[in-house]
């Protein structure tokens, strides 16, 4: 999935997208999360308990 600030390209469940979109926007606008080893890579667990998926969110500078 690719998010360029204006569009989202790729297939993804809307529930998963809406759950990690705040983290994507925060990283896009310069947020650093102190608990991350790499400031440009974050993990995000899908909220769907029946289909557990962990997404890796990467900031490309």
Task: Please tell me the predicted confidence (pLDDT) of residue 57.
Answer: 93
- pTM comes to 0.76
Question: What pLDDT, in 10s, does the model give residues 25-60?
Answer: 999 999 999 999 999 999 999 998 888 899 999 998
How many other C-beta atoms can be found within 10 angstroms of the C-beta atom of residue 55? 17
- pLDDT exceeds cutoff 80 at 1: no
Cα dist. 48→3, 14, 42, 51 in Å? Answer: 22, 11, 18, 6
């Amino acid at each position: 999935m690719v998010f360029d600030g204006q569009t989202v390209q790729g297939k993804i469940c809307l529930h998963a997208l809406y759950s990690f979109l705040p983290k994507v926007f925060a990283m896009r606008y310069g947020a650093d999360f102190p608990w991350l080893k790499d400031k440009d890579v974050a993990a995000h667990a899908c909220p769907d308990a029946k289909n557990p998926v962990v997404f890796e969110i990467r900031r490309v500078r």
